[in-house]
Structure 1
């Protein structure tokens, strides 16, 4: 797991372990980046099933409850099967765009 900080956004990149192992690592290290937006970049991993993305559901809900964004980046899943509660985008730039939009919504009180 590679962790980069860009302003108030933590970018977590995974290259080798399974999604389940990654979610466990993120949960263990969560206090380190709970006050920042989180991008989980998974483009270097293989194809994903709905069950793989659902592993992030609890973490996503927990993080969004703190008024922060949680975005998963992968272009290897059909976005139609992704639950609405999890924000999944195909590129890192789109993840930054989502965070910017969600920040504006929070500023406006939505």
Structure 2
């Protein structure tokens, strides 16, 4: 797992060879990122199921309650298979756009 601090968010990139290894590494370190906007970039090379992605749903909901954003990047899944409040996008550019939109929503009180 590679962590990159950006100006407005933290990017976490999977470099493990399996989803389970990445997920376990993320869980061990997630307290570190409690107050930060997070983008998780999960490699398209990792075999991952919809159920695996749903392991992040409660974390995404908790981040939203805390006033921070949580976005997952992966281009191999159908985002229509997930709840609307679960941000999954195919590119980093779209992930950053979501962070910006959610920042505007928070400023407007939504």
TM-score, normalised by the number of residues in structure 1 = 0.88
1:1-110 matches, within 5 Å, as 1-110=1-110
Distance in 2 (alpha carbons) for counterparts of 1:71 and 1:17: 21
SS at match of 2:3: strand
CA shift in 2, pair 1:47/1:17, >3 Å: closer
Q: State the 1:25 CA deviation.
A: 2.2
**4+ residue stretches of structure 1 with deviation over 4 A?**
none
Q: State the 1:39 CA deviation.
A: 0.2
CA shift in 2, pair 1:98/1:105, >3 Å: same
> Which runs of no fewer than 5 residues in structure 1 stay unpaired?
none
> Which runs of no fewer than 5 residues in structure 2 stay unpaired?
none
Distance in 2 (alpha carbons) for counterparts of 1:9 and 1:75: 20
CA-based RMSD: 1.6
CA shift in 2, pair 1:90/1:60, >3 Å: same
Distance in 1 (alpha carbons) for counterparts of 2:103 and 2:68: 8
